[in-house]
Structure 1
Amino acid sequence: MKPSLDETVPLRTAFVIMQRYLEFYWEHTGRGGEIGSLLSDVQMLQDGGTADPAALEDWLTVAETVIRGGQGPLFMQLTPKP
């Protein structure tokens, strides 16, 4: 059974879901270089970090922005426009 869009998961689980989705996308769209590079950066290591430590920190910044309603230091509006 597919999870509900309203299901709550820990941020680490959400990060792994995002990484696996990107991998799925990459596999099904011809393995483009830019997505491949991103996948390398977000690869989870055994110590719980990512291959590029900044990738997890950047992702957590975006997660915080979304959780706080789409406002924050990012140069984007994360809430849908009417």
Structure 2
Amino acid sequence: MKDDQSFTPIKSYKPFHSRFDPCPPIGKKYYRTPPNLYMNYQPVHLEQFSPMEALRKGTLWKDLYDYYENPYRGGDKHGKKD
């Protein structure tokens, strides 16, 4: 699954802005798509997390894990403020 080039978790779009709209244009908006959208079915023998790590990550299967970046948190791309 990870070698598939069609898997793009981050997508973007530009909202329509009318020339009569008094507000400034928003620009590009970004959103994430989950990895399970790109699987036809769940293959057998997927690699699994340990039970404790699966509880922390919210899924048992490594191919279905997708981390979340909070866009409002600030700091670097992992949310760390140094």
- TM class, shorter-length: under 0.3
TM-score when normalising by structure 2: 0.25
Relative to its length, the structure with more strand (as a share) is 2
User: Whose radius of gyration is greater, 1 or 2?
Assistant: 2
TM-score when normalising by structure 1: 0.25
